[in-house]
Structure 1
Amino acid sequence: MTTDVFAHILPPKFLKQMQALNPDILDQFPYMKNDLLTDLQQHRQSLLSGHQQILSVVNLNPEDFVDPVQAADLCRAANDELAATVRANRDVFPAGVAMIPMNNIPAALQLIDDQVAHSDALVGIQLFTQALGQPIAAKAYEPIFAKMAAIGAPIWLHPVFDTHKTDNNLTFSWEYELTLAMDGIVNAGYFEQWPDLKIIVHHAGAMVPYFSERIKYIQGEAKLADFKRFYVDTAILGNPKALELAVDFFGSDHVLFGTDSPFGIPPVGPTAVIEAAVAAMAITPAQKQQILTTNWQQLNR
């Protein structure tokens, strides 16, 4: 069974709650007008045989729209809905990733204790490269990293645009934002402070593998070693040579199959293309098996 660690959903009840607050909310995010995000049966039917997905919610984040108390309530309800989806569909959705309200850190920490730490369905949390206009490595968000290290559960790191910039684009901006977020986490010393911290970075680690020598000579060997502590997925829409570079930098035990489905390649996402790219990589069959299955099993022990 191939495990896709980075696939997305938009729980229907949660969407209705957000639309009740703002009926036109999806007009701000046209790419979320995708039936595979909300129609569970259609989503199931889109999956390739022998595949399962770890589900995370698209970046319709309550803290961007409502006050701290409302944000916490919406995240908690969305997580309950996602957990119920997992429990009813374990054959293809073995686990989900929780949302947390970034404008209410005390509630976020409580939510992690209540909904993630001992859950049979939610196995980690999703963070974004920025929250409320601040980098994710801002001091205000440090307790989240401490909590996740303490419970031994992974963080999924997903990009968002920097709203201070006027030239954002999907081709390059999200990769730049991921790179900056990784740099911020390393230079905040989080891996030194919490050696067991687990972070899964979308899009194969973005720019980091390509610029590894710049990291070594500008930031030093110790920082370079910390960059290698991240886990990354394969969601770069193919490109076996780029994936080989990610394996070369992070190690075959830190690269996991992930697709960003249902986005990337219409109508059902890039799963087949990315799986073909993994198959074409110049690595051993054992390493390919690590990427497709084993690494997730080891990370989720």
Structure 2
Amino acid sequence: MTTVTTGRIDLHQHLVPRGYREAFAAAGGEHALPQWSPSAALAMMDEHLIATGVLSLSTPGTHFGDDAAARQLTERINDDHAELVKDRPDRFGMFATLPLPDVDGALAALSHAYDDLRTDGVILLANYQGTYLGDPAFDPVFAELDRRGALVLVHPAELPGPSIPGLAPPVVDFLLDTTRAAVNLVLHGVASRYPHVRMILSHAGGFLPYAAHRIANLTGANELVTPRAGLHPGLDQEAVLEGLRGFWFDTALSGSPSALPSLLAFARPGHVVFGSDWPFTTPEGVDYFTSGLDAYPGLDAAGHASVDRGNAEALLPRLAG
């Protein structure tokens, strides 16, 4: 059995358990899910010097329209995931999945994940059936996440509207979905109301680092933000900008000479972590973006070490050492 004692910590890596594959197909899933197994994950990780992969279930999550079925599927997947981590805690971690938009079911799943399974954190989708993170409907979930000091991976879902024919959502739509969620979270004051929740935005935050100053200028105390229930009052341009900079960002699909300068210029020190997005990214894709990160001249040796491992250790101390 291969053991890696040093190396990257991958905070954006997925699992595709068999039970989920079957549920996804039964619900009419329109695209093929990639092949996945623990052994294949370990082989990929060894190739890219990844010590530990903190796994999560990708979009569309576990809710396919029926609350009871979603709760059962969520529990089964989280239980199986926890067994994998129990067997190899050095190599695997866990972002538990929740059956949102069922808030009561999500609260029950949170309790089970933390109290019984000792999860490392949770994954939340940017929107659930068109309701975005930051919406007051999800406040009870964020209150519980805050009570537990939770680490949250925010992952995009399909936009609540038609896609462009022939252009799969991960190509462009996912970037917008993450950006929408981040802005909505800030404008609803989620970070200030629930300060113990630490949120990682997938894929370098979508369009956020590149467009953050534009977003802050057009939303801070601006008539372009339509007043509605739940919006945090009194946010000026600087407050919006600082709210957006409060997130963490992973490097999944973003180790490129155009994305990295924008991300590193915007993110706070210590707020960038490594991500592979395997197996939804091909092995060639993982190699391309990981090699791009390794070769990026804008980071010195200490900076590369922080992105590869150190910043993740600060978020998940059990992986330090």
Same fold by TM-score greater than 0.5: yes
C-alpha deviation, 1:98, in angstroms: 0.7
TM-score by length of 1: 0.88
In terms of mean alpha carbon deviation, does 204-213 or 222-231 score higher? 204-213
| Distance in 1 separating the partners of 2:146 and 2:239 | 20
1:9 aligned partner = 15
Any stretches of 5+ residues in structure 1 without a counterpart? Answer: none
**3-state SS of the aligned residue for 1:253?**
coil
- Residues 160-206 of structure 1: CA distance to partner in whole angstroms, max 9, x if unpaired? 11232342643211101111110100001011112222111101011
| Distance in 2 separating the partners of 1:257 and 1:269 | 17
Aligned length: 288
| Distance in 1 separating the partners of 2:291 and 2:13 | 17
- Residues 82-119 of structure 1: CA distance to partner in whole angstroms, max 9, x if unpaired? 111111233421x1111111142122112212212564
| Distance in 2 separating the partners of 1:173 and 1:111 | 28
| Distance in 2 separating the partners of 1:170 and 1:156 | 17
Pairing partner for 1:106 from 70, 92, 104 = 104
| Distance in 1 separating the partners of 2:205 and 2:307 | 14
C-alpha deviation, 1:285, in angstroms: 1.5
| Distance in 2 separating the partners of 1:208 and 1:143 | 26
Any stretches of 5+ residues in structure 2 without a counterpart? Answer: 1-6, 221-236
| Distance in 1 separating the partners of 2:9 and 2:20 | 25
1:260 aligned partner = 277
TM-score by length of 2: 0.83
C-alpha deviation, 1:238, in angstroms: 2.9
1:212 aligned partner = 212
AA of the residue aligned to 1:78:
I
1:271 aligned partner = 286
Q: Give me the CA root mean square deviation.
A: 2.0
User: What percent identity do the matched residue pairs reach?
Assistant: 23
Write 1 or 2 for the structure with the bigger share of helix: 1
Quickly say closer, same or farther: Cα 1:271–1:296, change in 2 above 3 A. same
**3-state SS of the aligned residue for 1:290?**
helix
1:81 aligned partner = 80
| Distance in 1 separating the partners of 2:200 and 2:163 | 28
The answer on whether the counterparts of 2:151 and 2:199 sit within 8 Å (CA) in structure 1 is: yes
The answer on whether the counterparts of 2:130 and 2:159 sit within 8 Å (CA) in structure 1 is: yes
Matched, 1:236 2:253: yes
C-alpha deviation, 1:48, in angstroms: 2.9
| Distance in 2 separating the partners of 1:172 and 1:103 | 24
| Distance in 1 separating the partners of 2:160 and 2:213 | 30
Pairing partner for 1:44 from 42, 45, 54 = 42
Matched, 1:178 2:184: no
| Distance in 2 separating the partners of 1:136 and 1:202 | 14
1:300 aligned partner = 316
Pairing partner for 1:247 from 256, 264, 267 = 264
**3-state SS of the aligned residue for 1:127?**
strand
C-alpha deviation, 1:60, in angstroms: 4.2
AA of the residue aligned to 1:111:
A
Pairing partner for 2:31 from 29, 51, 56 = 29
- Residues 246-280 of structure 1: CA distance to partner in whole angstroms, max 9, x if unpaired? 1221123000000111223x3x2533322222222
